[in-house]
Amino acid sequence: MMATGVLRAILERWPSASVDVIVRAGHEALPLPKRGRIIPFDRGTISAGGFGASLRAAGYDRFYVLPPSFSSAWMAWRSGVPERVGHGGHLRGPLLRPALAPRAPARSVHLAREFLDLIDPALEIDCYPPRLDLPGDWAAGHLAGICRELPERFVAIAPGAVYGPAKAWPAERYRELARGLRDRAGVPVVVLGTREEHALGEQVRAGEGGILNWCGTTDLPALVAVLSRAALLVSNDSGSMHVMAALGRPQVAIFGSTSPVWTGPLNARASVVSLGLPCAPCFARTCRLGHTDCLRGVTAGRVLEQALARLSGNPSASGLNASPGRAGVHTAPGQR
């Protein structure tokens, strides 16, 4: 999702070039910007180097290396593509041609900005934010395969965080939030997540009416389709958050160990809730201090306030000032 802006920039800058996109396996059904193929890469069946070597015969001229990992640079080097454009660091420099210096210290500017810098630092991020444009019948086609009927109007919540518990707002807070949304907004709440998060969905639902546990019932395209119909999404800093931001739909994102400066939703219809504690962002998967106060300090009432404001279409009612393409960040009084 975060790369959709830079993909559009590439397509505009080289209007006659074929542009293939390498994605993690499972993402190939998404309508990503391209002028060529979407090529899935399954890390479970082939190494990054082996996959890169398989690209040699395609005769590419340029390889943009977006992820900051060593393995992605190794993939590019093994492909034999003459130009391998990416940011240096993490021992990647010798594998790239050229290896570019980042404009700022790591994680201090938005990741979408870092991607655009590989094309041209003068490109404005407001012109190329992450966006996912769904063809007219795309969502309906993927919703048709869902065995459950989608409510006409609903709020979605995604309580999971694959990265680790330091990004996950507590389940009991999500449960309190779901009840508040159901009772105050008068709409059903659909809990979304992976098959492995079904038990988490049950914790949030807790047998309550009007709260539906759909964890494990959607593949990625169906998840995108469901989110495209949701009146609002409340989530952690997660894949679902990035999808909703790319769709440009109302959302509230809760940040703990990670930074909204680096990966926050570039979406004028988004609110970000972050306490801004001195120990955050630490970018750890689990809390090194053992308390996760950056998340536990966020009350369900505060998130519910932001959610109801977004549902009403009046974010200023919650004290937020969100500029176009940017998320309003709501912090606790006295904290940054």
With a CB cutoff of 8 Å and minimum separation 6, the contacts of 72 are 48, 65, 66, 86
What is the model's pLDDT at position 80? Answer: 97
What is the model's pLDDT at position 327? Answer: 52
What is the model's pLDDT at position 149? Answer: 86
Return the bridge partners of 24, or none: 41
What is the model's pLDDT at position 68? Answer: 92
The pair of three-digit structure tokens given for residue 306, joined into one six-digit string: 């932001």
Counting Cα atoms < 13 Å in the Cβ hemisphere of 21 gives 23
Q: Are residues 196 and 2 in contact, defined by beta-carbon separation less than 8 angstroms? A: no
- Give first-to-last CA distance, the chain, whole Å: 28
AA letter at 189:
V
Token pair 């980042």: residue: 102
Domain boundaries, the chain: 4-117, 138-330
Token pair 């904290």: residue: 335
Q: Please give the average pLDDT of every successive group of 10 residues along the chain, which has 336 residues.
A: 97 97 96 96 96 97 96 98 95 96 93 97 97 95 86 96 90 98 97 97 96 96 97 97 98 96 97 95 93 96 97 62 42 38
Counting Cα atoms < 13 Å in the Cβ hemisphere of 148 gives 13
Q: At what angle do helices 171-185 and 300-312 cross, to 10 degrees?
A: 40
Q: Are residues 304 and 178 in contact, defined by beta-carbon separation less than 8 angstroms? A: no
pTM of the predicted model as reported, rounded to 2 decimal places: 0.92
What is the model's pLDDT at position 323? Answer: 32
Does the domain at residues 138-330 carry the CATH identifier 3.30.70.1380? no
Phi, psi of 247 (to 5 degrees): -80, -15
d(CA 321, CA 146): 38
Phi, psi of 126 (to 5 degrees): -65, -20
Q: 4-117 — its CATH code?
A: 3.40.50.2000
What is the model's pLDDT at position 2? Answer: 95
